[in-house]
Chain A
Amino acid sequence: MKDCGMETVIKNKVFHWVRSHKNNPLQKEPVTYLRKAQLQWEKRIHKSLNSMAAEIKVNLAQLRHTADREELEDKWNELSIYDIELSQYRPVYAPKDFLEVLLCIRNPNYRTIDRVSPWEFVHFPLKVKTLGELRALYQEVARGEPLLGVDPNVRTHQSFPSLMVERTLLGEKVINRNHAPVTQEFLKKGAPRSLRAKLWAQVMGTEVTASDRQRFNELKKLVLKYDLVVDKLIIKDIQLTASNDHQYFVFEDLLYQVLLCFMRDTEVLSVFNGSASNPVHGILKGRNPTLENTVVYPPSGVIPFHGFTMFATPFCYLYDDPVELYFIFRAFYMRYWYRLHEVSSNQQGILSLCVLFERLLHRYESELWQHFKKNGIQPIRVAFKWIMRAFSGHLPPEQVLFLWDMILAYDSLEVLPLLAVTVLSLRRDNLLAVDNFQNTEVTLFLFSFRS
């Protein structure tokens, strides 16, 4: 077994299985009021989708017309020239709409003492890590060990001229070993650019096989066969985000392929087993509303929101093959990203991450906290889109990749609020000098140009 490499294969399979089940208890949301909030939120999305479809007079799903199908197939590799009328389509929701929903959630068993500050997550009764516990989780970082993303030129070992050289040589060995837990450990100090694609694929178990290629091809056929409203939404989202972004516009044609296929992928549905959310269901047109006539919409159960594309864009710097890009993106989504747009009590969920952000800011940046509070600025409004998009589009691509190294290495999204607090902390003096929300945003935006 050892000689033919089967041992490694089995070890890695076990690792990926355990990893994917560790944080995903096969249990729906245990907290009733959060479950209700999520349910209401889903209803709203559903309604908004239906009313838009009714307004434009299109079916949510239908067989694609032959002419459209031929055009789509013809332009599959350059979908940026697949020119369709989208002016009436608008994103179902944007991060700020979702934030409003989160801010309105109330625990029926809990009342704030002064009752006038409903906007703080800091008092939200959810258990999140303390700084001490974060230190224990991110112990290598807490110990101040040299990170590749901080200074690649620092010399940490006498036998290597720089950290970069050291990490590259070690990383090559790690890749050859092909043992996923070792690879995950290696990522803690950051991946060298040239090895990252392989390292990530090892940790996520997404090395593309012939059957994966076949799978992707089947998804492509489904895209050609069925015409969904969410296709238009995702195309519109790419146009509004990646196509306008100086760091990602060149990759738009890859993104169209990947995200259109993603909408058709029923394997994504398995995230709903351990998540607080439920896919939208629809009844087939002209049929009786029975269970057999009920379908999940879209097939993957994911309704894109404004900025959804940004979950996929940074991968374009690692993979130029759409199939490889597809499977790493899907793995990240099913492991992490779905938690960023649902209401849940999970420590990895967006709500807990917001609470963690505010508690850290409140506790360790009290001057800034008071300043925000005095001026009626809600700190979470500044940081929410960073967290919800895992900083994609808010940092230069290479820094996003280093950040995502950390997400994989520690298998946790808690690094996102931690970084958000750090950014505010770093800009404290500038932020203290402005006294309204708009100027706060401008201040942070201006600094994003100097990295």
Chain B
Amino acid sequence: MRITFCTDLEKSVLVNNFEKRGWIHVNPEEEWNFYWAGMQTCRNLFGLESGYRMNDNQIINHFPNHHELTRKDLLVKNIKRYRKELERDGNPLAARAPNGKYLYLNFVPVTFVLPADYNMFVEEYRKNPQSTWIMKPCGKSQGAGIFLINKLSKLKRWSRESKTPFNPNLVKETYVISRYIDNPLLIGGKKFDLRLYVLVTSFRPLKAYLFKLGFCRFCTVKYDASMQELDNIFVHLTNVSVQRHGGDYNSMHGGKLSVDNLRLYLEGTRGKTVTDNLFKNITWLIVHSLKAVSYIISNDKHCFECYGYDIIIDNNLKPWLIEVNASPSLTSTTVNDRILKYKLIDNIISVVLPPNGIPE
């Protein structure tokens, strides 16, 4: 049997991988076995009105309600609930330190949804009025619409300005506001975040694979925590799509350092024990984030999904989960990037297909 595939994304790292396996390119209306779909297609396909039912030999690259994990506000809501459940069950994982913080489950920065949690945010804000907060629109990605806030008045001004003239009580979009990690780990004086890839083939039981190759994305501008730099978004945001518009973007390396080299650097300069600990904590962070949604995601056996995890490491080598992306970019910015993404897709296909290569 020849396998047929279709894809909404004409990316070479995808198509090359499919064709290398001798698969046949078909249109979505035809019989397909393997669909690399965009999110809109998935929504339509899984929507009740479409009536499409997948047969045994079909698989697709998204879970129907992945937004429970990938939308910033829902992720936070689910993690908060997960922690409470564990705590209620007396699970030792939910132990708290004397200061009230979770010992093992404190891996997302304090976050509130605006406008809904505005009062809770203000209460938290008053505890630490000098700290900085970061505002992100829930529905957007790749750094769009993000800004930093260090005064309540600035938030109030934003809230006034963003009200539409027609419905003055409604803020156009939902935002999350999170405590900004103001003590990030710097390498060579530069700030970065970590992009890791996690493949999930089943949520119940949880089957997840961490891709060995990941990378750090560096800011092109030196990190400076002082306030006058607050408006220079290039200092703070490490998304390549943001950084590419910065003046100093380098197309040879794209601001990316491999996770292997990060590890080499950390072991060399900080030691093995703390480095091992960091990577162990990163793995736990991923596991907990997935467990937090495992009973909410509809565990369709035709689905798999590759998530892009964005993690920031602080200067105590503690990892913080920033967000999870359901459609991590497959655009290659450099030669190494292309190799990495090609291998990523190759590994994903090898894992999701049974040994005989036919979806079942």
Report whether A316 and B256 are in contact in the complex, using a CB–CB cutoff of 8 Å. no
B197 within 8 A of A: no
Q: Note all chain A residues with C-beta closer than 8 A to B254.
A: 246
Q: Which of A111-119, A191-199, A207-215 contacts B (4 or more CB under 8 A)?
A: A191-199
Interface size on A, residues (CB 8 A): 30
B141 within 8 A of A: no
A437 within 8 A of B: no
Other-chain residue from A247, A319, A396, A449 in contact with B269 (beta carbon distance below 8 A)? A319
B172 within 8 A of A: no
Report whether A78 and B222 are in contact in the complex, using a CB–CB cutoff of 8 Å. yes
Given contacts A252-B188, A397-B261, contact A246 B268 (CB under 8 A): no
Report whether A449 and B222 are in contact in the complex, using a CB–CB cutoff of 8 Å. no
Q: With CB as the reference atom, state the residue of chain B lying closest to A192.
A: B272
Q: How far is the CA of A3 from the CA of B303 in the complex (A)?
A: 69
Q: Note all chain B residues with C-beta closer than 8 A to A81.
A: 221-222
Question: What is the distance, in angstroms, from B73's C-beta to the closest C-beta of chain A?
Answer: 33
Q: How far is the CA of A425 from the CA of B335 in the complex (A)?
A: 26
B253 within 8 A of A: yes
Report whether B253 and A254 are in contact in the complex, using a CB–CB cutoff of 8 Å. no
Report whether A194 and B188 are in contact in the complex, using a CB–CB cutoff of 8 Å. no
Q: Note all chain B residues with C-beta closer than 8 A to A247.
A: 257-258, 261
Report whether B253 and A245 are in contact in the complex, using a CB–CB cutoff of 8 Å. yes
- The A-contacting residues of B in range 234-272, CB under 8 angstroms, are 248, 250, 252-258, 260-261, 264-265, 267-269, 271-272
Given contacts A250-B187, A252-B188, contact A320 B269 (CB under 8 A): yes
Q: Note all chain B residues with C-beta closer than 8 A to A246.
A: 252-254, 256-258, 334, 336
Report whether A193 and B267 are in contact in the complex, using a CB–CB cutoff of 8 Å. yes
Other-chain residue from A194, A243, A249 in contact with B267 (beta carbon distance below 8 A)? A194
Q: Note all chain B residues with C-beta closer than 8 A to A319.
A: 268-269
Q: With CB as the reference atom, state the residue of chain A lying closest to B187.
A: A250
Q: How far is the CA of A194 from the CA of B275 in the complex (A)?
A: 10
Q: Note all chain A residues with C-beta closer than 8 A to B54.
A: none
Size category of the binding interface on chain B: 20 to 34
Report whether A317 and B250 are in contact in the complex, using a CB–CB cutoff of 8 Å. no
Q: How far is the CA of A78 from the CA of B257 in the complex (A)?
A: 19
Given contacts A77-B189, A253-B189, contact A245 B268 (CB under 8 A): no
Q: How far is the CA of A253 from the CA of B80 in the complex (A)?
A: 41
Q: How far is the CA of A386 from the CA of B187 in the complex (A)?
A: 27
Other-chain residue from A192, A245, A316 in contact with B188 (beta carbon distance below 8 A)? A316
Report whether B250 and A251 are in contact in the complex, using a CB–CB cutoff of 8 Å. no
Q: How far is the CA of A424 from the CA of B270 in the complex (A)?
A: 36
Q: With CB as the reference atom, state the residue of chain A lying closest to B256.
A: A246
Question: What is the distance, in angstroms, from A303's C-beta to the closest C-beta of chain B?
Answer: 26
Given contacts A196-B268, A243-B250, A244-B250, contact A317 B222 (CB under 8 A): no
Q: With CB as the reference atom, state the residue of chain B lying closest to A78.
A: B222
Interface string of A315-330 (1 = CB under 8 A from B): 0111110000000000
B122 within 8 A of A: no
Report whether B188 and A317 are in contact in the complex, using a CB–CB cutoff of 8 Å. no
Interface string of B90-117 (1 = CB under 8 A from A): 0000000000000000000000000000
A80 within 8 A of B: yes
B307 within 8 A of A: no
Q: With CB as the reference atom, state the residue of chain A lying closest to B221.
A: A81
Interface string of A296-329 (1 = CB under 8 A from B): 0000000000000000000011111000000000
A residues with CB within 8 A of B: 77-78, 80-81, 168, 192-194, 196-197, 243-247, 249-254, 316-320, 396-398, 449
Supply 9 further A-B pairs (C-beta < 8 A) apart from A193-B272, A246-B256. Answer: A194-B271, A196-B268, A246-B252, A247-B261, A251-B187, A317-B265, A318-B268, A396-B260, A449-B339
16 A-B pairs with C-beta separation under 8 A: A78-B189, A81-B221, A193-B264, A193-B267, A193-B268, A194-B271, A245-B252, A246-B334, A247-B257, A247-B258, A250-B188, A250-B218, A253-B190, A317-B268, A397-B261, A449-B339
